[in-house]
Structure 1
Amino acid sequence: MNAENNIGSSFQEKLTRRARLQEELRVLAVDDDLNILQLLKTALSALHFDISISDSAANTLKLLARQEKPFDCFLLDIQMPGMNGIMLAKEIRKMPEYKHTPILMLTAMSDREYVDLAFVAGATDYVTKPFDFLELRSRMSAAQRLVQERRIAESNAQQSQAVDPKAKFPLDEPISIDGIDRVLRYAEFDNYIMQLSQGRLFSTHATAIKLVDAKRLHKALSADEFQLLLRDVATSLAKATKKSGDIISYRGDGVFLTVRHGRNAAHDAPEEETFNRLLLTLQSQRQARTDAQVILGDSVSLRSLSKSGSLMSISRAIENVELRDQMAHVEPVRRRASGQDGSAESETVKKRAYETVLRDLFREDPSLRND
């Protein structure tokens, strides 16, 4: 009887989790233009989103303070009187229940400075006005997938912790490193790169940085210790690039990416020695039982007029540091077949780039869609 009860309980838990994943996305749109709010409400309601509206940052903060059930997604206009959308995004990110909630910025301002400020403040994506509603629908669908994926990840993590509290996350998992200035999560960084691709990127470069012996360290350290080490690396990158304001992201496999702007971006980046000196200091301060180091790949220009081209440049930056890691490794490295080299992260970025090409193609030529 107990076995039957356990099976029934487990099945009910699965049904509950599935229902939670499939429920409507609760969205809050914030804009001081009531016409825009009504337009968003009509359009997104037709797409089966549960949408609420607010006409100012001040009213939004009051609304959030009395909400019993958190919202799943935000649409924030940047240009609002008083507290603007970027400042509001920062305030929302301070609330524990909205630490990972998708925030889409709505604005007519597409200058790189505003894009940087929005993503550093905690934006997940960026939609420019006037709205292309096909694009808005696509971004909202992406936000919905992100919410569902995070719910699944949280559920799986809770189950793993219940079975084995010391369970490690996979090395190739691009875990979030929160609370460090200019460090973006995986999805946010990709969206940032694709938003940048809509402007001129002739003076923008990407550099990949990799933790030496990441596989060995991941195996030797506990999950908490390895996560602290990754945090040390992110902190050292943020400190070394504070003046230039590089945007940083952890990509899994011990690999970080930085994006730097400026005519001399490729030449002005800090030396490898600078990163390692800062990293060693951080490890010493917390008395870590490691003296880990990082290596840098060559900078890659993001000069591209397409989203897919920018993502392919990111992939090349990762391949550069992976190749250097292989060549510098003490142990013999089994070479893959020609053209097959690269980390799991590099392959993921390539796949994302190809998917972007196909989406752009189908959108430009409706006859290719199989409706």
Structure 2
Amino acid sequence: MRVLIVDDDPSILHVLQTALAAIDNYSVAVAACADSALDMIEGAETSFDCFLLDIQMPETDGIVLLRKIRRMPDYSETPIIMLTAMSERNYIDDAFIAGATDYITKPFDLMDLRGRMNAARRLVKEKLRTEETKRAVTILKQELQKNTQFNFDDPLVIEGADRHLRFMQFNNYIDQLSRGQIFKSHCLAILLQDAQTLYDVTDCGYFRHVVNETALCLQSATSDLDCMFSYRGSGLFLVIVHDDESLRAFPTEEKLNHYVQAMLGERGSADSWVQALVGKPFSMRSLSRSGIDAAINRAVDSVQQREIIFRQGDTRPVDDPTDAGTQRGTHTRRRIYERVLMELYGEESYLNLK
């Protein structure tokens, strides 16, 4: 596997060259700055398979270099691991938003480096298989592939949302939060209500469309907030909110559904009855990954309980007390919602869900 390391510190370059030689038989090239790295990439007869980029470099920093590499068609999916001695979260966020695959903090731990390089190697093998497939298809075929079959629990790729992280990127991002001890972060889950039924009775292209549009709505509704999110499959989104101010300003279930219904309902169809359910936020204050995983699991349990309550006819957000008149209004809206769902899915399918 051909690896290019970019760092302005010669000692770091030497350490990494030595470490990679000890780990496996990597073909390693080094560059001391972004400009040299770009010259090497453009002049390479054989493409690089993986990059290790230092974030803090003079003139052109690693994040700018990362963006330039990602704009190259040959490197849009290549594993890129960021290197830095800094623990400030804003650098981590910027790196992942720009397209980083993973993140290593100096000083390096050999076992940690080995694990992340092995993960990168698996991505390279998958990338090679994907490229072989792409060579055999036309532009029309690529467009049609968007509607190919996939499983309900597959973590779909979201298009057009720069604060959305893919499945593996999100897991790596969570790992970094754990190591950085980001005590002010909270996790909450958002679930498309009746997602399984929607998947079962519509084609995959339509379900993908609903998921993607919901992700764009979530990005729009949180554009001024400090948060990241990921679609995990099964109609479920996980959101990491990084400070108390953003948590207080996070859109309510009602507000988020205004976005969803406005975007999906533009055609005047039953799309506007797609509902996004918002669970309770849970603090990720923990020194361990297991503690963070527990917070994530509680967030998922919360929104799943929210769905059960919703099916029972109570459409109020969690912990949202209302008077009797408003409760009667929500039950009326629920009956209308049920009627639209039965028209869309068929009475038998919807009654089986209930």
TM-score band by shorter chain is 0.7 to 0.9
Corresponding residue number in structure 2 for 1:145 = 122
SS at match of 2:271: coil
Residue 235 of structure 2 is aligned to residue 258 of structure 1: no
1:322 to 289, 304, 323: 304
Paired residue type of 1:219:
D
Paired residue type of 1:86:
I
Distance 1:103 1:321, change over 3 A: same
Paired residue type of 1:104:
I
Superimposed CA distance per residue, residues 85-117 of structure 1 (whole angstroms, 9 cap, x where no aligned partner): 111112222233322222111000011222112
Inter-partner Cα distance in structure 2 for 1:98 and 1:224: 27
Distance 1:152 1:312, change over 3 A: farther
Inter-partner Cα distance in structure 1 for 2:201 and 2:351: 20
Bigger mean CA deviation after superposition, 270-279 or 148-157: 148-157
Inter-partner Cα distance in structure 2 for 1:217 and 1:140: 39
Paired residue type of 1:247:
M
Bigger mean CA deviation after superposition, 166-175 or 186-195: 166-175
Shift of 1:288: 7.0
Q: State the TM-score, normalized to the length of structure 1.
A: 0.75
Corresponding residue number in structure 2 for 1:224 = 205
Distance 1:212 1:136, change over 3 A: same
Shift of 1:203: 1.5
Inter-partner Cα distance in structure 1 for 2:78 and 2:215: 22
Paired residue type of 1:32:
D
Distance 1:69 1:323, change over 3 A: farther
SS at match of 1:251: strand
Unaligned ranges ≥5, structure 1:
1-24, 336-371
Inter-partner Cα distance in structure 2 for 1:327 and 1:150: 43
Distance 1:260 1:27, change over 3 A: same
Distance 1:52 1:237, change over 3 A: same
SS at match of 1:184: coil
2:294 to 312, 329, 337: 312
Inter-partner Cα distance in structure 2 for 1:32 and 1:321: 47
Paired residue type of 2:18:
T
Distance 1:52 1:112, change over 3 A: same
Residue 9 of structure 2 is aligned to residue 27 of structure 1: no
Superimposed CA distance per residue, residues 259-294 of structure 1 (whole angstroms, 9 cap, x where no aligned partner): 111134543321112211112222245777622221
Q: State the TM-score, normalized to the length of structure 2.
A: 0.78
- Aligned CA RMSD, in angstroms, stands at 2.9
Bigger mean CA deviation after superposition, 146-155 or 32-41: 146-155
Unaligned ranges ≥5, structure 2:
313-349
Aligned length: 310
Instruction: Answer whether contact 1:204 1:265 (CA < 8 A) is retained.
Output: no
Inter-partner Cα distance in structure 1 for 2:271 and 2:103: 39
Bigger mean CA deviation after superposition, 247-256 or 273-282: 273-282
Residue 91 of structure 2 is aligned to residue 114 of structure 1: yes
Shift of 1:228: 2.2
Paired residue type of 1:237:
L
SS at match of 1:209: strand
